[in-house]
Chains A and B, each alone.
Chain A
């Protein structure tokens, strides 16, 4: 499989009056052609900043890419100019944002917003662009596309708007689709429709997908690999089977044990993760998760753990993997 995106040791910080916030702190991952990866974690763990950095959408200042490299289609894009980025954004990389209510321009028709991309990147003229826009709306399952093109965003429901966003992200058949919580604002039946649509795209036109979500169910449904982020770092990554059936990091355990399963046959007790996510202005010195971790050792509060490879693609950053550490196994839900 062709390597589409390779991110190495990426660091993005925000320089605020209170000090430097290391929102993304040494993140490395890759995306191959035609695969879907999921990024999970709580709010404020750096998921969105990671992909916004990849899209080079971080407002500068206060944000800044402090270090690392992003190789997209064999080219390092960290130092590209805004103009060069604009040629990639929308054409090679498409993005779906979380909130379909605010990411469309309310005073422009859907048609105008859709054809803008086509005119810009494909150099299509009015008529040809319109025809493509109709095809796209059809692809994402919007009926009466011709008349819908003349309508404004407020005439669309939430799910329909998110479909328009998907259509827009797909206008130039991007190689990489970045979806930042694409269904969080939607109802479950509509969520199922959007997920079905994304799965179709992956299978039919071989689009790669980076899916950001806090819902472990959606990841299990769509993705083949998962990155678990906490406090600006990837603390565990692996295939969905690795993460769901053989998780190694106590935070991943915590995530899996704190959600109820709809298909549970009896009522188990939820095991919450105590405490709250770390303040990235003053992150803990050692492992970011140490203050909330029930297996915390002295070493954890002093030194950041290195990655340990469990198998080929499964890596975890936890001191429990150290040969001298006590053996603790994932017990599943109580």
Chain B
């Protein structure tokens, strides 16, 4: 499952590289561990992120996109595979190395209600990173917190308040301020807007884009809302059952989807335009995503694929280069 070396990606430009990353979760049960079942959450994914770009990671629930993000930032220990950050392997870093890695790589979580400690003031939540990494103390710390709150559009007085006093959108801003406090290079955004109202989503997305421009940030943007992912990302990787089935530049992916799953996913999204909707032919894939405990042989999508052939059940399709960085894993290409 190795992707051919991508010539468009210069070595120095790559900030994160993931090679054959696998994460399996053992399930309880089995006699003395025999016949133990395993959840195949992430099954060997490969990708690179360039400095300053946004890579979107999309897929339906249970496809392993969040697990991939959490494994990359080492909240989960990878089962196998390698993670390179700025050219250095960080798959097994620990202690100070790991602390150092987490300063450069940060994460924004999905649920702005659950990811902020209700007993800490906003100032302490934002300042916690500064304390842990010994970046500032005393007046410098206070100044930095005020500066960060200003960046995300809150008042410095808000530092003394508690999370419950804020709306969902404001809480997500606080989560972003916390992330920015340590000046990270790469931010993993795990469904940062899906808990928010539509009008608020645009506020957060615009802010993320402005921050990227100003601070040269790199994002791994994990979400299931393809319209929003397409809007914010430069390139998009589509995941299905723990594997990347297609990766391309976002406009290319939309215009020219190659994998049957990507095609179905794109056609399933209703477009807010009645005339477009009326004239569209929709591919409705039948059935549901198979269980990651016992995934099908060969291509994982074959059980729902309208074009499945015998070879699909026998062999795992490799990612094929289709020109200008567009890769897809399908036997029929």
Is A280 close to B, CB under 8 A? Answer: no
In the assembled complex, which residues on chain B have CB atoms less than 8 Å from the CB atom of A273?
Answer: 199, 202
- Closest Cβ neighbor of A190 among chain B residues: B288
A260 adjacent to B230 (CB under 8 Å): yes
Partner of A258, one of B170, B201, B271: B201
Chain B interface residues (CB < 8 Å from chain A): 60-61, 167, 169-170, 197-203, 205-206, 224, 226-228, 230-231, 251, 254, 264-274, 276-277, 282, 284-286, 288-289
B199 adjacent to A244 (CB under 8 Å): no
Q: How far is the CA of A160 from the CA of B267 in the complex (A)?
A: 21
Q: A188-B269, A217-B270, A218-B270 are in contact. Are A258 and B199 (CB under 8 A)?
A: yes
CB distance from B42 to the nearest CB of A (A): 18
B200 adjacent to A220 (CB under 8 Å): no
Interface size class of A (residues with CB under 8 A): 35 or more
B268 adjacent to A192 (CB under 8 Å): yes
CB distance from A300 to the nearest CB of B (A): 18
Q: How far is the CA of A267 from the CA of B289 in the complex (A)?
A: 31
Is A127 close to B, CB under 8 A? Answer: no
B202 adjacent to A259 (CB under 8 Å): yes
Q: How far is the CA of A244 from the CA of B205 in the complex (A)?
A: 23
Is A82 close to B, CB under 8 A? Answer: no
**Contact digits for A170-197, partner B, Cβ 8 Å, 1 yes 0 no:** 0000000000000000011111110110
Give 12 A-B contacts (CB < 8 Å), ordered by A residue.
A187-B289, A188-B265, A193-B286, A195-B270, A219-B272, A220-B274, A221-B277, A258-B202, A263-B254, A263-B276, A276-B167, A276-B200
A270 adjacent to B272 (CB under 8 Å): no
B268 adjacent to A270 (CB under 8 Å): no
CB distance from B119 to the nearest CB of A (A): 24
Partner of A215, one of B266, B267, B270, B284: B270
**Contact digits for A267-282, partner B, Cβ 8 Å, 1 yes 0 no:** 1011111101100000
Q: Beyond A188-B269, A260-B228: 9 further Cβ-contacts under 8 Å?
A: A188-B265, A219-B272, A220-B274, A240-B274, A262-B226, A270-B202, A270-B205, A273-B199, A276-B200
B270 adjacent to A255 (CB under 8 Å): no
Q: How far is the CA of A79 from the CA of B52 in the complex (A)?
A: 62
Most buried by A among B169, B199, B284: B199
B224 adjacent to A187 (CB under 8 Å): yes
In the assembled complex, which residues on chain B have CB atoms less than 8 Å from the CB atom of A195?
Answer: 270
Interface majority SS (helix, strand, loop, mixed), chain B:
helix
Please give me the 10 A-B residue pairs with the lowest Cβ-Cβ distance, nearest first.
A217-B270, A260-B231, A272-B202, A216-B272, A273-B199, A187-B60, A258-B202, A192-B268, A272-B203, A270-B202
In the assembled complex, which residues on chain B have CB atoms less than 8 Å from the CB atom of A214?
Answer: 197-198
A220 adjacent to B228 (CB under 8 Å): no
In the assembled complex, which residues on chain B have CB atoms less than 8 Å from the CB atom of A216?
Answer: 272
Is A103 close to B, CB under 8 A? Answer: no
Is A122 close to B, CB under 8 A? Answer: no
Q: How far is the CA of A264 from the CA of B198 in the complex (A)?
A: 18
A272 adjacent to B231 (CB under 8 Å): no
CB distance from A250 to the nearest CB of B (A): 12
B284 adjacent to A261 (CB under 8 Å): no
Q: How far is the CA of A193 from the CA of B60 in the complex (A)?
A: 14
In the assembled complex, which residues on chain B have CB atoms less than 8 Å from the CB atom of A43?
Answer: 197
B274 adjacent to A259 (CB under 8 Å): no
In the assembled complex, which residues on chain B have CB atoms less than 8 Å from the CB atom of A187?
Answer: 60-61, 224, 289
Most buried by A among B60, B271, B272: B272
Q: How far is the CA of A263 from the CA of B251 in the complex (A)?
A: 9
